[in-house]
Amino acid sequence: MRIDDALSTFFAEAAELLREMETELLACAGGAASADDVNRIFRSAHTLKGSAGLFGFDFIVEFVHEVEAVLDRVRQGKAALDAELASTLLECKDHMDGLVTHAMNGQSALHPSMIERGTRLLRELGTTSPQAAAAAHSTSEATVASGAAPTGSETSSIIDRHAADAQTPGRWHISLRFGSDVLVTGMDPLGFLRYLTTFGSLRGMVVLDELLPDAAAMDAQKCYLGFEFCFESAAAREKIEGAFEFVKDDSTLRLVPPASPPAAYFETLRAAGFDDPRAARILEDCGSLTVAQINTVLLATDAVTRQPVQGAALKASVANAAARHEAQTIRVDAAKLDSLISRIGELITATASANLIARRSESRDFEESLTNVSALVEEIREGSLQLRMVRIGGTFNRFRRVVHDVSRELGKEIELQISGEDTELDKTVVEKIADPLTHLVRNAIDHGIEPADVRAARGKRSAGCIKLNAYHDSGTIVIEVSDDGGGLKRDRILAKALERGLIDATHKPTDSEIFNMVFEPGFSTAEKVTNLSGRGVGMDVVRRNITALRGTVSISSEAGIGTKITVRLPLTLAIINGFQISVADSIFVLPLDSIEECVEYSSADGHDYTSLRGDVLPFIRLHGLFGINKPPARRQSIVVVRHAGKRAGIVVDALLGEFQTVIKPLGKIFARVDCVTGSSILGTGEVALILDVPAVIERAIQRSAAWIDSTGAPQVAAA
């Protein structure tokens, strides 16, 4: 592996470790920390320290070592991980983030401000400076792989000790058998071997495949791994044994120190269950003993002739074992996925063009062949889009820290409840929605949740509650940010809107229209400016960012009860299943997931609504919406679409059917075109506009409502 690739892997893994540490610390800040919680935090810190040491990032190693020392005291019961210490450790985690970023930027010397911050944090922890830490490296060197630490086991660890322990540099022979439940407790056996390489080197290894049962008897949750290997290091026995601290209670570890007599090696392998011929082959293949040393022992015991295993066979055995237990995930550069999606989009367009040619050729064989190709392209499209789908839980979990920090700053007690964290959506959408959601959560804490005394006077719990929820609905993902605070001040918002001339004094706006005024640029009703809000900026940016993702945002609120902000976003920004319609010579595309049904057009002249099985259905004519002068078709259709619990009809000339649609963004000159959200290239090379369903529905309802108000017709029903 090139050093650049290894570094990128380190930075990615460091970010994951720090996120895990933050999650566990936030959990500890809210209640009593369990031994497992502390072990997981310690493990993240220790793994980060070890990885940073491999690349020579001493400034990371020195600081993390001191944090690790504090965590080690907590593990030993010499200190308590209370809310105050957890908050300090969270600041330390932020400082580690800065150190990793510093290393990522290729800098070695720390800025004085970073040194000052690190010194202050270590002083708050009650530990020494990083410089002193480098000189007094006394914390436990135990390491673990990812996962929860075991709480104990009845299985005893068998550690054979030889009197000839040598502290001088040399080759140790290590016989290792992991416990059968090591995977269940969340440990990665190979992680322990990787850690050994941080203070020594593996000279040779034999993976014991004879420990594997038959396929029928194999349990996927059980570990059958065993290793015999030669480890060259100047480390003391305690440090080598310490590397297996977290699994020593349910694993078997035998060490043969350097300079031990050859018979001691055979004695250890006999205790492990091997006969002398097998032990001889293992010791030779590992490089623990020379052939002459092995022969001396075999001749002395009148052993049978050796039959050593060839080197190629050993390499194949090790490779196969590693492959079986390798993690089932790989890291892929996001740019490569984007390129793949782009190529598939071009493939879809080319396939559509080929289908047109096939139909014109009137060749049945050609058409059948293209049908098969189209089906395969559809499967590739679905599979490739799934590669970009990620769970929103990672984004939601970062708000635990936001709530923790902001609530402490404001002196409020606030709980965060998360649901729907397994809901998946496009990675690009997840990345771009994080900032708008952060502002909504901070706004809910600052403006939504009342102080404890006010809540008590209203008969509420002193602790406020903010809820994050996500779910799928009609081909979109819905994200809800709600709080149980005092709700929006309707009259104050209305007065401010009238003062700024945002609405006409004669107009009677609905509650929804009034609440949505907070998304206007510079709109604020805050009585005082704080670090969080009240500057008249932010909410307009939230709406602009969500609109840029082809999404919508709405607010519902009830005085004294709370506020809910609902964000609706498309699942993907790349390729959708579209339904093509035509008006005169123009072709438009609707997202298939937003369509309920298609019915024949019928309505009285001049009406902007029709009856659909007894319900009033508002509709809009695309002829009029886009100013198409050609006369409509003699037989028109209505496409019934739904969004956010509302539905409306779209009057079109013809229904062209379902087609895969590659979304192309509109140019800047068309960025403000109403009721259009994008474009697509058809197989003929023509451009079709993709309709913005939410905007079309709102336009249809408003026009119908205006006509009803002027004529006194029945109110429009929303499904």
pLDDT at 34: 78
Higher pLDDT, 677 or 566: 566
Res. 640 pLDDT band, cuts 50 70 90? very high
Cα→Cα distances 437→143, 468, 477, Å:
37, 10, 14
Q: Please count the other Cβ atoms lying within 10 Å of the Cβ belonging to residue 136.
A: 10
Q: Where are the alpha helices (H) located in 562-621, listed in sequence order? A: none
pLDDT at residue 596 greater than cutoff 80 = yes
Higher pLDDT, 414 or 699: 414
Query: Among candidates 29, 120, 23, 39, which has minimal Cα distance to 72?
Result: 39
Each residue's pLDDT tens digit, 515-524: 888 887 767 6
Sign of torsion, CA 433 439 442 443?
Answer: negative
Phi-psi domain of 340 (left: phi exceeds 0; alpha: psi -120 through 50; beta: other): alpha
Each residue's pLDDT tens digit, 185-233: 777 788 888 888 888 888 888 888 777 888 788 888 888 888 999 999 8
Cα 91 to chain center, whole Å? 22
Residue type at 272 in one-letter notation: A
Please give the Cα distance from 566 to 573 (Å, whole number): 19
Classified as helix, coil or strand, 21 is: helix
pLDDT at 308: 41
Q: What mean pLDDT comes out for the span 466-488?
A: 87
Q: Where does residue 124 rank: exposed (0-12), middle (13-18), buried (19+ CB within 10 A)? A: middle
Res. 256 pLDDT band, cuts 50 70 90? very high
pLDDT at 174: 93
Cα→Cα distances 339→6, 95, 384, 442, 597, Å:
23, 35, 11, 36, 35
Q: What mean pLDDT comes out for the span 456-485?
A: 87
Higher pLDDT, 571 or 562: 562
DSSP states along 636-682? -EEEEEEETTEEEEEEESEEEEEEEEE-BPPPGGGTT-TTEEEEEE-
The residues, any chain, with a CB within 8 Å of residue 524's CB and separated by 6 or more, are 533, 534, 535, 536
pLDDT at 325: 39
Which pair of structure tokens corresponds to residue 487? 């709700």
pLDDT at 54: 67
∠ CA 97-98-100, rounded to 5°: 65
Q: What is the DSSP letter of 111?
A: P
Q: Are 276 and 192 in contact (CB under 8 A)?
A: no
Q: Are 178 and 189 in contact (CB under 8 A)?
A: yes
Please give the Cα distance from 195 to 179 (Å, whole number): 18
